[in-house]
Amino acid sequence: MGRSGLDGLVTFVSSSLAGIDLNLLLVLRELLRERNVTRAAEHLGVTQPAASAALSRLRRHFNDDLLVRRRGRYELSALAVQLAEQIEAVCDGVEQLFATAEEADPATSRREFRLVIGDYGITVLGAELARLMSGAAPHSRLSLSLAREGLAAHIAQTIQTVDGVISSATIHFHLPEMRSIELFRDRWVCIAAADNPRFKARGLTHEDLTTSTWVVPYHSDTRFPSSIPVSGQLALLGLRPVVTVRVDSHAAVPHLVAGTEHIALVQERLAASLRGRLPIRVLECPQQTDPIVHRLWWHERHEDDHAHQWFRELVTKAARAAAP
């Protein structure tokens, strides 16, 4: 890597790693995250030539291209995909190792905190979390990854590579190494277009639920009910909905209901966030549904990490501040 641009990154060398520049771990992590040398260089605070030189060293070390150019963009090689599954935990371990004896000072810390969170969770507390983070830790970074459909099934792997997951619980979350704290609660409501004549003078009936067309997030025709919470609630209502629109997003659902004859089941706080901005009507479900309880989940290895303790308190504070 040399002194051309990576002097600001500290090199840790142990007897078992003699001759290996551990700065390459940080470079590898950013390259695998970004799949782009220029963006990786920006995140590391180094020049693009320095990052390119580091990539060349990594390619020689692994005897693999790592980043392969296809159809005008870079993709991960098969080996790089394997490395991407390991590098986050490795870098986290190194950072925690050298921070063990320190009381983290949020005002000067440059740590990156990574959360997996759904777009509904971002709607509820995202703005408040970003505001608090900016004020208390202006040099730290907040990295949010959107929760995907397979989150629950892969939670054992995911929770080891991030600082936390904000989600409701499923049976997959009942792992001995996972810790959690409640952040906020919500409830399910139905929505329809404001000008839908079917519901002008009355509320929803169970017949309406069975005869209407639906917008459903993360719906699967082959697995119903699936592990997605809204799927379980539809089953609880005794429905196998006629799904006209499927979308991999909770926040997009009201936009796909407005101006149509479709209906949907959404979180009340999501619907409330669009009140006055989107022509939808909120309707009570004709039957009781389960409450929505979102928690912050983290791996037990973060328990004694002072910086992580501070971050957990910040997330909890953001959830309280965002309460309706």
**pLDDT-based confidence at 19, cuts 50/70/90?**
low
CA torsion 44-46-50-51 (nearest 10°) is: 30
Tokens of residue 40, six digits: 């990786």
Identify the sign of the CA torsion 190, 195, 201, 205.
Answer: negative
- pLDDT score at 95: 66
Residue 11 reports pLDDT greater than 80: no
Domains and CATH numbers, the chain: 15-99 (1.10.10.10), 112-186+293-321 (3.40.190.10), 188-290 (3.40.190.10)
- pLDDT score at 233: 92
Q: What is the pLDDT of residues 188-246, one digit of tens each?
A: 999 999 999 888 767 789 999 999 999 999 888 777 777 778 888 998 888 889 999 99
Tokens of residue 102, six digits: 């320190």
Q: Report pTM.
A: 0.71
Tokens of residue 136, six digits: 């208390």
CA torsion 165-169-173-179 (nearest 10°) is: 60
**pLDDT-based confidence at 25, cuts 50/70/90?**
confident
| Mean pLDDT computed over 263-287 | 94
Range of lowest pLDDT (9-23, 58-72, 114-128): 9-23
Q: What is the pLDDT of residues 258-269, one digit of tens each?
A: 999 999 999 999
Tokens of residue 137, six digits: 């830790």
Report the alpha-carbon distance of residue 24 to residue 91 in Å, rounded: 10
